[in-house]
Amino acid sequence: MQFLVFHLGKDRYGLNTRHLTRVLPLMELKQIPGAPAYVAGLMNFHGDPIPVVDLCALACGTACAPHFDTRILLVDYCADEVWHMLGLVVEGVSGVTDIDQAAFFEPGIANPNAPFLGKVAADNGTLLQLVNIDHLLTAEARAILFQRQRQSLS
């Protein structure tokens, strides 16, 4: 399987490329006053407002640094049985790697505050941990980020 490799802080993570729509440069985002700290804002994607989550803030409590290799990953995200586009700010995007599914194992540590962090695998001398998009956002976060789409369905 193919995974896009990036960093959250100093640690390496991977995202299954089947979720990935585009890798975009970091851009100015419209801030959302009163939103949780991990909500980076809204991006304009061809005229559509797309919510963007800062994965460093969500996972580590500190916003991603605006380096030359900080990117916005545009992913397909299913919330309440409706597909949405969601942006994820990550640091240190370094490319795509192939890792056999059988190489991944449970990390042996349960973290109820980060249910989106999945299995790990040895890759290039370090551990690579998967980010599970399906468990990324709480129901409360989904209600905040996808309210516009929900209203348009009513």
**Number of domains making up the chain:** 1
Lowest mean pLDDT among 26-35, 95-104, 119-128, 141-150: 141-150
pLDDT value at 151 more than 60: no
Q: What is the pLDDT of residue 148?
A: 56
Using 50, 70 and 90 to split pLDDT, how confident is the model at 139? Answer: confident
Average pLDDT over residues 149-154: 44
Amino acid 75 reads V
Looking up residue 22, the CATH number of its domain turns out to be 2.40.50.180
Q: Could you list the residue range(s) of the whole structural domain that residue 23 is in?
A: 2-153
- For 76, residues 6+ apart whose C-beta sits below 8 A from its C-beta are 19, 21, 83, 84, 85, 86
What does the DSSP 8-state code read for residue 60? H
